[in-house]
Amino acid sequence: MSPLPHFFHTLIIGAGAAGMMAAARIGQRGFSVALLDHAVKIGEKIRISGGGRCNFTNRHLDGGDASPYYVSQQPRFVRHALSRFSAQDFVQLVEAHGIAYHEKHKGQLFCSGSAQEIIAMLQEECRKGGVSWHTGCRIDAVCALPEQADGARFEIRSSSGLFCCRNLITATGGLAVPAIGATAFGYELAKQFGHSIITPEAALVPLRFENWTESGLAALSGIALPVCIRTGSGKTAAAFDEDLLFRHKGLSGPAVLQISSYWQPGNSITVDFAPDTDLAAALCHGKSGQKIQLNTAIRQLCPHLPERLLDCWLAQPAFAPYAAHKWADVPNTLLQQLGRSLNEWTLLPSGSDGHKKAEATRGGVNVKEIHPKTMESRLRPGLYFIGEVMDITGWLGGYNFQWAWSSAVCAADAV
């Protein structure tokens, strides 16, 4: 005879940011709830986030439309959840636990100590809610049950035994960093119940370029500077004022991570090294009577550009013959070409560093098939999706964790 399943009002698969948040709230509402996770060590993404300090939310989310900060086929889907449980609500929880935090820039809130404090806070909230934990738990099968007397609607077979539950919450996250437990489980489960998946792709990820080393750009590795970066056009256009980082294998830094969430293969990206100056105009209009060399002129016009970058720029075959010429003697066509090359450096990425190095996944469970107020499936009553497994990808800067907290609270209050 097979053993009787453990019954829980709600089972949550995935004990990451969203899963723990939901479990704590459901338990504190007085319902039986269990977290199942295949990882032995939980909260690993929180631990490594924000360089170990966890950028847990962003103040810019409070007091306005949150949808511009999210990439999705339906960005307006986030509006209800983010006003239902706001960045300020999460900050209050952090403060209630006595966790010191600070704002870095652009509204980004980080722990002043360690990301471990956020994990401890969520664990403590789960303890208060009497949440059951099953870590190192392999999920073998999930099936829907016919209507039962005890209200059970799903059965879960796992290496920790047989479970059944009235509500099943999928909180298995995206595909970023498989080394710490990311899997496609949530997408497979969603498909099993008839959901469609927007193709998951690496987001918030460094970009790569063909012939990077041969073009001499690898020599700029380590240089970081503020730029304006763009991609796409019309409705799909995106632009960010952030820092760019040159690497041995391509480009990274916040500017590139942000634009990577919008970049589509085959499209180019454009970098403006001097967003406040029309360099072509400044070079042409300012040259009259100037005895200084062209390279000195460029340095004066763009004092924030690192020497190494300017040297490399002026060493390009088109500009090198003029670098030591008197500015006044350089033809306008060449000055325009030089100015435009710095204001509109256009590159064609060949790809990205992939899920291994990504901070998020764009795509996921199609939110058209999910209720925005409860996170419940429109196709299967009692089935919920929260956090990054959905087709919701936040900007860099605490937006992804806030989505995890807010979507978790909506589901927790609805089950």
Contact pick of 45, 153, 247, 287 for ligand FDA (by CB under 6 A): 45
Query: 207 CB contacts (<8 Å, ≥6 apart)?
Result: 250, 251, 252, 256, 259, 260, 263, 269, 349, 351, 352, 353
Tell the residue number behind the tokens 């007397």, with chain if given.
149
226 within 8 A of 243, measured Cβ to Cβ: yes
**Interface pick for ligand FDA out of 116, 183, 270, 336 (rule CB under 6 A):** 183
39 binds ligand FDA (CB under 6 A): yes
Minimum distance from residue 111 beta carbon to ligand FDA (Å): 10
Q: Which one among 9, 11, 12, 13 touches ligand FDA, defined by CB under 6 A?
A: 13
CA 341 – CA 201 distance, rounded (Å): 31
Asked if 18 is part of the footprint of ligand FDA (rule: CB under 6 A), the reply reads yes
- Using rule CB under 6 A, residue 171 touches ligand FDA: yes
- For the chain, the distance separating the N- and C-terminal CA atoms, rounded to the nearest angstrom, is 32
**Closest CB 134 distance from ligand FDA, rounded Å:** 9
Minimum distance of ligand FDA from residue 375's CB (angstroms): 11
Please state, in angstroms and rounded to a whole number, the distance separating the CA atoms of residues 76 and 70: 9
Phi, then psi, of 348 in degrees rounded to 5: -110, 105
Please give the structure tokens belonging to residue 330.
Answer: 């350089």
Task: Tell me: does residue 254 bind ligand FDA (CB under 6 A).
Answer: no
37 touches ligand FDA by CB under 6 A: yes
Query: Based on CB atoms, which residue is closest to ligand FDA, 90 or 322?
Result: 90
Element (H, E) at 259: helix 253-260
181 binds ligand FDA (CB under 6 A): yes
Q: Which of residues 304-363 bind ligand FDA (CB under 6 A)?
A: 359-360
Helix (H) or strand (E) holding 33: strand 33-37
Between 37 and 391, name the residue whose CB sits nearer to ligand FDA: 37
Nearer to ligand FDA among residue 42 and residue 412 (C-beta): 42
Residue 382 interacting with ligand FDA (CB under 6 A): no
Applying CB under 6 A, the span of 50-58, 261-269, 295-303, 332-340 interacting with ligand FDA comes to: 50-58
117 forms part of the interface with ligand FDA (CB under 6 A): no
Nearer to ligand FDA, 342 or 360 (CB): 360
Is residue 170 near ligand FDA by the rule CB under 6 A?
no
364 touches ligand FDA (CB under 6 A): no
Give long-range contacts, CB 8 A cutoff, 24+ apart: 112-120. 112/53, 113/53, 114/52, 114/53, 114/54, 115/46, 115/47, 115/48, 115/49, 115/50, 115/52, 115/53, 115/54, 116/47, 117/54, 118/43, 118/46, 118/54, 118/56, 118/94, 119/42, 119/43, 119/46, 119/47
Decide: 59 and 87 in contact? Cβ < 8 Å.
yes
158 near ligand FDA, rule: CB under 6 A: no
Question: How near is the Cβ of 39 to ligand FDA at its closest, in Å?
Answer: 4
Q: Which two tokens stand for residue 279?
A: 């360099």
For 26, list phi and psi in degrees, rounded to 5. Answer: -65, -45
Tell me the residue nearest to ligand FDA as measured from the CB.
Answer: 16
Applying CB under 6 A, which part among 31-39, 71-79, 301-309, 330-338 lies near ligand FDA? 31-39
- Residues lying near ligand FDA in the complex (CB under 6 A) are found at 13-19, 37-39, 42, 45, 48-50, 54-55, 139, 171-173, 176-177, 181-183, 185, 359-360, 387-389, 398-401, 404
